[in-house]
Amino acid sequence: MEAIANAPETLEIPTIPTYINGSHALMQTLVAEGVDTIFGYPGGAIMPVYDALYDFQERVNHILVRHEQGAGHAAQGYARMQRRAGVCLVTSGPGATNLVTPIADAQIDSTPLVCIVGQVAKKLLGTDAFQEADIMGVTMPITKWNYQITSADEVPEIIAKAFYIAQSGRPGPVLIDITKSAQLELMTKPYVYKKCESIVSYRPRMVAKQEQVIAAAELINAAKRPYILAGHGVQIAKAEDELRILAEKTGIPVATTLLGQSTIPTNHPLYVGWLGMHGNYGPNVMTDQADVIIAIGMRFDDRVTGDASRYIKQAKVIHIEIDPSEIDKIIRADAPVVGNAKDVLQALIPLVHPNDHTIWRNEFRKYDIIENETITVPELTSTAGKIRMAEVIDMLSTKTKGEAVLVTDVGQHQMMASRYYQFRRPNSLVTSGGMGTMGFALPAAFGVQVGAPDRQVVAIIGDGCFQMTLQELGTIVQNKQPVKAIILNNNFLGMVRQWQQLFHERRYSFVELQNPDFITIARGFGMDGQTCHERDDLSNALDTMLAHDGPFLLEVIVEKEENVFPMVPSGASVSQIRLK
């Protein structure tokens, strides 16, 4: 009784420690993961994160895009240059669905992305709340992994896991859906960041089994007509040097896929050209002559194989690939080697015998002569008619000494850029390969420039593609990035028109565009630009663009009905490649 009587008059309130909220936990984890750049667009369901971002402006450069698709492609460009995950931050509903195209693009081209999207509060999930979209369901088939965070406590672990999954093994996009309630609520424990280093159910194999490497080496050593096909995986693994060393030691000719271009300089004596529907003549048809194909970090896309049932039937196939599901998916491998290209090539190089396949390599040259005479030289030396796309790329290549990063959109200009640019440095072509996303180039070029500030970045864009994402001119100008963009304007959706001409009896169905004045549009955004109509003005126009301090748009009016050759018609075998 006495004790009660002596009790203090005011109740003692124990101090409850307060912890940070989900949004601050998210920002701290991003910083811990080394994120210094975010491409994003705010909105209702992500506002608490943007509020936390306000406190992190010194450490994280947030770039406000004009459309979420632009954020996605910019993050892809950034990721390709930095060879680590690009980060997007957008709101729920339409913000999230606008990211779908870049996510699908990143998935098929193995580009690491961490996409953080807002979601309605946990208690509103499934109620058709304002700006609620089931983005988990939408992105499940097109992400490497996705996860919905519904409590602040989950944030550090899940974000660390997201980066680990996006960047390890075969890279890819990861989407994290975070409810507004999780962004706002306080954690119930102290914030602790721990880097994710393994996941029990996910173990990408980096170093291949030695017996697989030995089997591959034996095939290479016994080969009479071996042929290396190098894909994007070589660049992702930073295995450019290993590829070159392997080729130089063995004398094996190297072709690349579309995304594998610039892995090896185009003037390297062992480089024979690139593969695919509009790739070079020799590299395509010579696949039918090889006795051993060494496919490295590539997936035998149908644009490479043509009719896969008639592709490299005569050859033994060594398939070096990090993703086991790619082995035997399209082309059966006689010697599969599952592992990271760099690790595999390092293990393989000591096992292969020095060789010199000059006679075999020279067989490629006779096709080069034909391609040169029928396509390349005429395209580069025409004097009549409008400017040809080839001339623009060729001149750009000379003026930039082959050292620029080309960012190309999708269509004829993309193929022409690949045909005529003479790459001298690795990791110099950023394009939408698997998905073929029109509108990719402008925002991606912006991201490339942010990710590689020391490099000259030139976007090659068609007049159709440009109009899909041209609002990102605003992002480029606001962020003062010196991106140079060239529109090759033929007033057509050129590649579709080419197919209609060749395979649909010239029934040009909805491919002609009434275009706006692109330079006026650029000026409206505060960007300089000029149009080039005449062949004689092209050199000066390119000089003006390249010398310009800051971003610049060069529109080149090109031949209206030009076709890209060589061409492997859809569904044909590569040996049925057409030169005209």
Min dist. Cβ of residue 239 to another protein (A): 22
Element (H, E) at 228: strand 226-230
Question: Which of these is catalytic: 47, 131, 249, 560?
Answer: 131
Min dist. Cβ of residue 160 to another protein (A): 14
Q: Single out the residue of 265, 324, 436, 569 in contact with another protein (rule: CB under 8 A).
A: 324
Write the DSSP string, 286-338.
GGGT-SEEEEES----HHHHBSGGGSSTTSEEEEEES-GGGTTTSS--SEEEE
- 318 — phi, psi (to 5°)? -100, 125
How many Å apart are CA 289 and CA 269, to the nearest integer? 20
Neighbours of 336 (CB within 10 A): 22
Contacts of 299 (CB under 8 A, 6+ apart): 231, 321, 323, 326, 329, 330
Region near another protein per CB under 8 A, out of 81-89, 193-201, 206-214, 402-410 = 193-201
Q: Single out the residue of 329, 386, 425, 535 in contact with another protein (rule: CB under 8 A).
A: 329
Q: What angle do CA 477, 480, 481 make, to 5 degrees?
A: 100
Local structure of 359: helix, strand or coil? helix
Q: Is 302 in the site for another protein (CB under 8 A)?
A: no
Cβ atoms 118, 183 nearer than 8 A: yes
Q: Is 126 in the site for another protein (CB under 8 A)?
A: no
Min dist. Cβ of residue 324 to another protein (A): 6
Q: Single out the residue of 325, 358, 509, 520 in contact with another protein (rule: CB under 8 A).
A: 325
Question: Which of these is catalytic: 68, 326, 559, 562?
Answer: 68
Region near another protein per CB under 8 A, out of 196-204, 211-219, 423-431, 518-526 = 196-204
Region near another protein per CB under 8 A, out of 45-53, 195-203, 477-485, 533-541 = 195-203
Contacts of 72 (CB under 8 A, 6+ apart): 39, 88, 98, 99, 101, 102, 103, 105, 106, 113, 115, 443
Nearer to another protein, 325 or 358 (CB): 325
b/e code 399-414 from CB counts within 10 Å (16+ = b):
bbebebbbbbbbbbbb
Q: Is 73 in the site for another protein (CB under 8 A)?
A: no
Local structure of 119: helix, strand or coil? strand
How many Å apart are CA 295 and CA 287, to the nearest integer? 11
Closest CA to 172 of 410, 434, 415, 407: 434
Nearer to another protein, 135 or 493 (CB): 135
* Positions in 135-174 near another protein (CB under 8 A): 136-137, 140-141, 144-145, 148, 165
How many Å apart are CA 294 and CA 227, to the nearest integer? 6
Nearer to another protein, 329 or 399 (CB): 329
Closest CA to 105 of 139, 131, 81: 139
Q: Is 7 in the site for another protein (CB under 8 A)?
A: no
Nearer to another protein, 327 or 337 (CB): 327
Nearer to another protein, 33 or 177 (CB): 177
> Is residue 131 among the annotated active site residues?
yes
How many Å apart are CA 2 and CA 383, to the nearest integer? 111
Nearer to another protein, 153 or 472 (CB): 153
Nearer to another protein, 83 or 205 (CB): 205
Region near another protein per CB under 8 A, out of 104-112, 317-325, 352-360, 555-563 = 317-325
Nearer to another protein, 323 or 368 (CB): 323
Which residue in this structure is represented by tokens 């593969």?
A: 275
CA atoms within 13 A on the CB side of 174: 24
The number of residues that bind another protein (CB under 8 A) is: 19
> Is residue 565 among the annotated active site residues?
no
Q: Is 309 in the site for another protein (CB under 8 A)?
A: no
Nearer to another protein, 224 or 332 (CB): 332
Question: Which of these is catalytic: 180, 316, 342, 484?
Answer: 180
> Is residue 495 among the annotated active site residues?
yes
**Angstrom distances, CA of residue 228 to CA of 203, 247, 271, 326, 327:** 28, 8, 10, 17, 17
* Positions in 200-259 near another protein (CB under 8 A): 200-203
Question: Which of these is catalytic: 286, 435, 495, 567?
Answer: 495
Q: Is 328 in the site for another protein (CB under 8 A)?
A: yes
What size, in residues, is the chain? 580
Min dist. Cβ of residue 92 to another protein (A): 18
> Is residue 68 among the annotated active site residues?
yes
Local structure of 221: helix, strand or coil? helix
Region near another protein per CB under 8 A, out of 180-188, 289-297, 326-334, 541-549 = 326-334
Q: Is 323 in the site for another protein (CB under 8 A)?
A: yes
Closest CA to 282 of 572, 577, 570, 573: 577
Region near another protein per CB under 8 A, out of 37-45, 92-100, 194-202, 297-305 = 194-202
Residues near another protein (CB under 8 A)? 136-137, 140-141, 144-145, 148, 165, 199-203, 323-325, 327-329
Catalytically active residues are: 68, 130-131, 180, 495
